[in-house]
Structure 1
Amino acid sequence: MLKKIDRGALFLEKQQKIFRCPKCHREMTQKEKSLICVNGHRFDLAKKGTLYFLDHQIKTEYDNEMFAPRGRMIRSGMYQPVIEKIADVIQLGNMLDVGCGEGSFLQQINQLKANPVNIGFDIAKEGIYLASNQPVDAFWCVADLTNLPFTDQSFDTILNIFSPSHYREFKRVMKPDGCVVKVIPQAGYLKELRAVYHPDGEAYSNEAVIQRFTEELHIDHRERVTYEFQIPEENRLDLLEMSPLEWQVSADVKSNLAKNPLKTITVDIEILKGH
């Protein structure tokens, strides 16, 4: 069985034309376990077979304590109806998962509709290290959403699940007949958790995000998916730790909820597909 770094090198050998240098935007070639551009900028594979495309360290609030529970919740089936809808609307070919976290969404989608080329990236290296353990044929890297290390017109589907967008870069790396599939939380998303964590919070809305998508891209498909999920007992504490909702919550509130965890949670999202 190949080591992760050797699998990564094989991927780069086959797919080097997908990558461009994030520093000078020139083409790159694979040499052994590295990508090197014509100006000599070099990016070396880590032992986990991942590439780090940033020129400086980024500290994010997303860490293993959040990524691991998120992965367990995705694998518990919490998002299965959403994953099935996404699999229906993606275009087979080269897929880019923007803000992929620990990679569970990309892995689950490929179980339903396997893409020949899968690349996931995130700005948080902790997520990418976890993603490298996913049982899926994919390449993982740490990169900046606003300066993608990929060549023009490289991807058939750009997947954008619960993560920020940068439409200029999306349009640049998307093939002429490609698409962006964006998943946006709607008003009822995790409402039971929000009611406990932020009982006096404002009504939750992502209408501005949806409006921006419709301004930037031509809509091919739009669908709202809403349901209640019965949380398996072993995942009830994972739910409390998987979301940024808990970052500003007092220890007392978290402790009370941990003693009396939620048994059901609402998933309420909008899927947008555009080109």
Structure 2
Amino acid sequence: MLLCPVCHEPLVDDERGAACASGHRFDRAREGYLYLLRSSKSGDSMGDPKSQARSRRDFLNRGYYAPLRDAMIELVRKQVSGCAASTNGPMTLLDICCGEGYYTSAMGAVPGVDAYGFDLGKEMVRLAAKRGDATYFVANMKDIPVADGAFDMVTELFAPFNEREFARVLAPEGSLYTVVPGARHLFGLKEVLYDTPYLNDEKLPKTTELELVGTQRVSANITLQTQADIEAVFPDDAVLLPHTPWR
């Protein structure tokens, strides 16, 4: 399932981590995740900073994005149910840029799912691994260290779209679920910040290797109720836009 990021040979798990036949070894962190970046640059300096990762975790844990989480759970559940008769063993799911695992763990908890999630930021993956219900690793979505056709489902929520890699890792009859902001996403915030708030352009990713088979709209209004909620959303300027109330 997982590949060595150096030579792209299969990784084999052992007590301490994972290794390939060429001798490249990757230790498993105390929280249980693997670090699969080729770069020697510290994972602490890549991806989201610790404060932003924890802020995102705290905000999502308060349930503001539960409607989207529940919609993803239902999509995964339907996929598993529809393929139960023709599938031996659990269905595999890969969550692209999983962040701190809020959605990944929820989808991984669906019976019959073997979930994996990865992110570029080590702190995000460290927090995700604490949630459980999935196998987590640090990696770059430009060159995902997983085998071709390994996953029945790939999910991508508010992340960059890399069709080449998504199509490569999907099984022949696999499904990709991608989430993009709706026209009124964060509109409540725009009404406060801008004299003339604007709607988002709802452009779906252009694809040449994947076929669009359907769309589903998920919407909800949320209101921050406490000072703790506000602090979780606005710990510093870096998280002003990504994690504010949306409609």
2:230 matched to 1:236? yes
Greater share of strand residues, 1 or 2? Answer: 1
| 3-state SS of paired residue (1:128) | helix
2:174 matched to 1:178? yes
Residue matched to 1:23: 6
2:34 matched to 1:51? yes
Residue matched to 1:194: 190
User: How far off is 1:42 after superposition?
Assistant: 1.6
User: How far off is 1:88 after superposition?
Assistant: 2.0
Q: Is the 8 A contact 2:47 2:120 kept in 1?
A: no
For 2:191 and 2:173, how far apart are their aligned partners in 1? 42
Runs of 5+ in structure 1 lacking a partner? 1-17, 248-261, 268-275
Residue matched to 1:160: 156
Paired residue type of 1:266:
W
Paired residue type of 2:126:
Y
| 3-state SS of paired residue (2:52) | helix
* Match of residue 219, structure 1, among 212, 224, 243: 212
Task: Give the share of equivalent positions with the same residue, in percent.
Answer: 28
Paired residue type of 2:198:
A
2:92 matched to 1:97? no
User: How far off is 1:216 after superposition?
Assistant: 4.3
| 3-state SS of paired residue (2:118) | strand
For 1:244 and 1:189, how far apart are their aligned partners in 2? 18
TM-score, normalised relative to structure 2: 0.82
* Cα RMSD for the two superposed structures: 2.5
User: How far off is 1:70 after superposition?
Assistant: 1.6
User: How far off is 1:179 after superposition?
Assistant: 0.8
For 1:190 and 1:239, how far apart are their aligned partners in 2? 13
| 3-state SS of paired residue (1:27) | coil
User: How far off is 1:221 after superposition?
Assistant: 2.1
For 2:186 and 2:65, how far apart are their aligned partners in 1? 12
TM-score, normalised relative to structure 1: 0.74
4+ residue runs over 6 A deviation: none
Q: Is the 8 A contact 2:108 2:114 kept in 1?
A: no
Change (3 A) 1:31 1:83: closer
Superimposed CA distance per residue, residues 199-254 of structure 1 (whole angstroms, 9 cap, x where no aligned partner): 2688353544x1425x442122201222211333242332234995638xxxxxxx
